[in-house]
Amino acid sequence: MTDSNTSLSHLDLETDKTFLDANELVINMGPQHPATHGVLRVILRLDGEKVLGLECVIGYLHRGVEKIGEHRTYAMFNPYVDRMDYVAAVSNGLGYCETVEKLLNVEAPPRAQYVRVILTELNRIASHQLWLGTHALDIGAITPLFYTFRDREEILKIYEKYCGARLTTHAFRIGGLQYETYNGFEREVKNFLDFFRPKIDEYEELLTTNRIWVERTKNVGKITGEDCIALGVTGPVLRASGVKWDVRKAQPYANYKNFDFEIPIGENGDTYDRYLVRMAEMRQSVRIIEQAIDAIPEGPIMAKVPKVIKPAVGEVYHSIEAPKGELGYFIVSDGSTQPYRLRVRPPSFVNLQALDLMCRGQLVADVIAVIGTLDIVLGEVDR
Amino acid sequence: MHEFLQYIESYLTSDKTPGAAGNWVWELIYILLVFVGLSVSVICMNWLERKILAHMQVRLGPMRVGPHGLLQPIADALKLLLKEDIIPAEADALIFWIAPFAVVLAAFTVFVVVPFGPTHAITDMNIGILFMLGVSSLSVLGIVMAGWASNSHYPLIGALRSSAQMVSYEIAMGLAVVSAVLMTSLNESGTGTLSMIGIVQAQLAQGEWFIFKFFPLGLIAFFIFAIAMVAETNRAPFDLAEAESELTAGFHTEYSGFRWSLFFLAEYSAMIAVSSIAVTLWLGGWLRPFPNWLSGTTWDRMFSLFPGVTFLFLAAMCFYNTVRMPKHPLFRIQTIGLAGFGVVLGLIGLILFIPAVSFRVQDVFWFSAKVAAFMYLYIWYRGTFPRYRFDQLMQIGWKVLLPIGLGVLILTASVALLQPMIWHP
């Protein structure tokens, strides 16, 4: 077995000739498979149950989002970003709006900033809930899925009340917000937090100390911090490997510097640590929302943004901490109403690169666990 | 004709199983009864699993087909029968065709020796338990055949996994069974028995279910069996063979329609079969609970009311939910249907109060109730546990259950030998 990727060669495994002298078995997992989270196709090379290597084939959901961006005005492109990571549409919108604001050199008013943070953190919780449910389902625990979906519903209800949409929300506009918060927004968010805090314990009760869960996730899909950095892996996967990198703290955007929260990190970089990190992140998100909801200032919700957005010639890169990792937008403006080039740095796509490295030498069942723990959304991988 | 009727009647006074009495008419009737009963319980199990699992998962489960989805299994069965019968082009057609029948045959044949009561078994073999273990493990053949004949990767891996799993858990299972069989020999003459009816009668004679015998040895053996039997039937958390998230559907990926439903039928009847082994060996088979604590004819009579009371309770549940049904004209048929179902259950309950009937039936009732408890456990496991990985599964089988099973067997044997010396010197 040869692999051209020399930097990762320490993980290359020789075919285990003693194992019944088995020949390699090539299995095609996906694009229609219950556990590949969409239309990911993984070509597995197996020796019995052991994974010798794998190759991801992507593009089944490619819609050319970046190219579409070149043919739409800045404001018109805003709803398209919701369709990339449709599980965390609000985060996508925040990233895009902030990037264009940076390009225009305007800043959203404080009230808008606070509402943005609240909605984005709620979205982080919703995204992690969906991850937890599907990840547990992949490992064979079918019940947590229904619990997380039941509780995610409460977040979607808040979104629906705020902007009319549940999934692809288009909640933010360039320069601030389109809608003022509805009556009782603060109360409902607070109610949700009170409702949700014990629910995290409920999820943890089902899984954290469950022997089978621990056995299935500990030392599975290990990745070191160096490998993560080499591959550009970000988000909870990076943090679980012990690297304390969170864009919210490292390069504060929106008004995250006003809030007091911690960045949970893991030690071993295995699936169990990633699970713990995400559970802790949900608690931290609750903390952030709590602080934000008490401190929402009065004031305008929209900055002065021209009706026709025509940024000066130039380019800008801006990134935010989406639930899945660093979500970056790179926009080149030629001074017209449409971007000259728009590039998205999707966390799922970059994180998916690590799949091969994490699965080598593990068993077939672990591939499923690792795909789940990477928390990929194919809409974002393929764009 | 008269002679024939006499032939049939002659059995009614016998205290043997139809097989032992050599009465072929009653043998046929019993076979038919067991087959129908098994099919009905698989249908019930299908509905119950969906409903119980749904309620564990904060959802309602089937609600549309019939009141509270009661007709859902029948609708499903119809759907499966009407589906196109597909044999993949690359498959080995003959083996592909035989495999589901092999599995079903193995799963149903074991019921020949299952003792639903002292006389309620098709026959009583003197090697009953051996026969059950042997025949039930034949189903692995069908699974391997299915996986191989499908000529596809996922079924092949699924079949390999399940055969390895079933073979390795059978050893732990066998050791647990041997320790229970050993306990049957603790009598004056020191002769044990492998007959299923004999094992229960040994528990009756010793006045103790084997789960409590030599506490905690019987209990440990029972636990080993209880774990191994879940693995043996390929159910969660040991359902690697059909791990949906990994192997799409495992060995029956390529099967559809009627053939697939045969696998389904076999899986559930295998679950019932292994549960009945556990009930027979450790939980006193058809014996009623608390035989020592609540003894005497009064209590006997009280316990004989249980079957009727159970059915009346189910009927009452039906009526309660009939009242709670939505009062919309669209629900009228469903409401009437539920009430009708309640009436049927209530009538069965009332019939069961007739002393002559309840006397004949209560054995079957207690046996089924104990098996039903195991069925509930199966569903509960499925709702709570994640799935084991293949290597972990093998580890538990070989490195945990097997040594414990051996230890329990040796300890049981030593205690059985030493006990008479210590207590009756």
pLDDT digits (tens, 9 = 90+) for B212-226: 887 888 889 999 999
* Homologous superfamily of domain range A65-382: Cytochrome-c3 Hydrogenase, chain B (1.10.645.10)
- Residue A3 pLDDT > 70: no
- CB burial of B191-206 (b: ≥16 within 10 Å; e: otherwise) equals ebbbbbbbbbbbbbee
Q: Between chains, do A365 and B390 touch, taking CB under 8 Å as contact?
A: yes
pLDDT on residue A19: 46
Flag whether B186 is in a domain. Answer: yes
Which residues does chain B have with pLDDT short of 50? none
B271 burial type by CB count under 10 A (0-12 exposed, 13-18 middle, 19+ buried)? buried
pLDDT on residue B315: 93
User: A21: how many CB neighbours lie within 10 A of its CB?
Assistant: 8
pLDDT in tens, B201-213: 888 888 888 888 8
A316 in contact with B at a CB cutoff of 8 Å?
A: no
Task: Count how many Cα atoms sit within 13 Å of the Cα of residue A295 in the half-sphere of its side chain.
Answer: 17
Flag whether B212 is in a domain. Answer: yes
A275 in contact with B at a CB cutoff of 8 Å?
A: no
pLDDT on residue A11: 44
For A28, name the nearest residue in chain B, comparing CA atoms only: B153
Taking the C-alpha atoms of residue A54 and residue A42, their distance in angstroms, rounded to an integer, is: 7
pLDDT on residue A6: 40
pLDDT on residue A22: 53
Which residues have C-beta within 8 Å of that of residue A150, sequence separation ≥ 6? Answer: B58
Taking the C-alpha atoms of residue A287 and residue A285, their distance in angstroms, rounded to an integer, is: 5
List, as one string, the DSSP characters of B141-193.
Answer: HHHHHHHHHTTSHHHHHHHHHHHHHHHHHHHHHHHHHHHHHHHTT-STT----
Three-state SS annotation for chain A = CCCCCHHHHHHCCCCCCCCCCCCCEEEEECCCCCCCCCCCEEEEEEECCEEEEEEEECCCCCCCHHHHHCCCCHHHHHHHHHCCCHHHHHHHHHHHHHHHHHHHCCCCCHHHHHHHHHHHHHHHHHHHHHHHHHHHHHHCCCHHHHHHHHHHHHHHHHHHHHHCCCCCCCCEECCEECCCCCCCHHHHHHHHHHHHHHHHHHHHHHHCCCHHHHHHHCCCCCCCHHHHHHHCCCCHHHHHCCCCCCHHHHCCCCCHHHCCCCCCCCCCCCHHHHHHHHHHHHHHHHHHHHHHHHHCCCCCCECCCCCCCCCCCEEEEEEEEECCEEEEEEEEECCCCCEEEEEEECHHHHHHCHHHHHHCCCEHHHHHHHHHHHCCCHHHHHC
Q: Between chains, do B384 and A150 touch, taking CB under 8 Å as contact?
A: no
- Candidate from A93-97, A341-345, B133-137, B297-301 with smallest mean pLDDT: B297-301
**Vertex B179: Cα angle to B221 and B381 (nearest 5):** 25
Question: Å from B62 to nearest chain A CA?
Answer: 16
Flag whether B209 is in a domain. Answer: yes
Taking the C-alpha atoms of residue A283 and residue A200, their distance in angstroms, rounded to an integer, is: 8
B246 contacts in chain A (CB < 8 Å): 35, 364-365, 368
Among candidates A40, A49, A48, A43, which has minimal Cα distance to A28? A43
> Averaged over A84-105, what is the pLDDT?
89
pLDDT on residue A383: 83
Q: Between chains, do B386 and A33 touch, taking CB under 8 Å as contact?
A: no
Nearest by CB to B245, from A34, A49, A366: name it. Answer: A34
B59 contacts in chain A (CB < 8 Å): 146
- Residue A360 pLDDT > 90: no
N residues, chain A: 383
Flag whether B334 is in a domain. Answer: no
- Residue A2 pLDDT > 60: no
- Candidate from A347-361, A368-382, B100-114, B290-304 with smallest mean pLDDT: B290-304
Flag whether B336 is in a domain. Answer: no
pLDDT on residue A331: 92
pLDDT on residue A4: 42
- Residue A34 pLDDT > 80: no
A33 in contact with B at a CB cutoff of 8 Å?
A: yes
Structural domain count of chain B: 1
- Residue A67 pLDDT > 80: yes
Tokens 């764009």 -> residue = A383
A366 contacts in chain B (CB < 8 Å): 389
Which DSSP letter does residue B241 get? G
A207 contacts in chain B (CB < 8 Å): 386
A25 contacts in chain B (CB < 8 Å): 153
Flag whether B27 is in a domain. Answer: yes
**Vertex B26: Cα angle to B22 and B29 (nearest 5):** 140
A11 in contact with B at a CB cutoff of 8 Å?
A: no
Cut 0.90: pTM above it: no
pLDDT on residue B357: 78
Q: What token pair was written down for B341?
A: 């179902």
Domain that holds residue B126: 22-62+70-305+353-423
Q: What token pair was written down for A56?
A: 């991801």
**Vertex A362: Cα angle to A359 and A365 (nearest 5):** 90
pLDDT on residue B248: 63
Mean pLDDT over all residues of chain A?
85
Flag whether B337 is in a domain. Answer: no
Strands A41-47 and A25-29: antiparallel
Candidates A40, A142, A363: best to mutate against B (most CBs of B within 10 A) is A142
- Residue A18 pLDDT > 50: no
> Averaged over A170-177, what is the pLDDT?
87
Domain with CATH 1.10.645.10 in chain A: 65-382
Flag whether B4 is in a domain. Answer: no
A146 in contact with B at a CB cutoff of 8 Å?
A: yes
N residues, chain B: 425
